[in-house]
Amino acid sequence: MSKHTPGPWKSRASGARSASFSVIAEMDERLVASVPPRFHGPGDSDGQANARLIAAAPDLLEACALTINRVCQLCYLGVAFVSIGTHQVPDGGITPCQAVYLRAVVAKATRGQP
């Protein structure tokens, strides 16, 4: 896919006295990102949530790529499409508009590289 630090990644607090979080590669404990806290009030920081989202990025990217491939397979195989509102959807599947969106998300993450 792209040349990023291989997943899986995990998030953890950076230190006992620090309110920031680190995202690290599980394979070799390499630092992927340092996430500062953003305080909204006493005890309210979204830094941990941001770190968890970043840590999920490799899995999310892979899930998008797998979904795109499956939609392409269904289209190639001529799977029956049904109408749901204004969309044509593979029977029990994802809409072509959603597949286009997923392709755009993957391109954004990989700079257009497969």
| DSSP 8-state assignment for residue 29 | -
Question: Which residue did the predictor score with more confidence, 103 or 75?
Answer: 103
**What pLDDT does 31 receive?**
94
pLDDT tens digits, 89-99: 555 556 666 77
Strand arrangement, sheet containing 9-13: 9-13, 21-25, 31-35
Domain limits of the chain?
9-55, 58-110
> What single letter denotes the amino acid at residue 14?
S
Chain center to CA of 37: 21
Summarised one tens digit per residue, pLDDT across range 51-87 is 899 999 999 988 888 887 777 776 666 555 555 566 5
Q: What backbone phi and psi angles, to 5 degrees, belong to 29?
A: 60, 20
CA 101 to CA 60: how far, in whole Å? 14
Cα distance between residue 26 and residue 32, in whole Å: 10
- Model pTM score: 0.69
- Assess contact for 43 and 50: CB atoms under 8 A: no
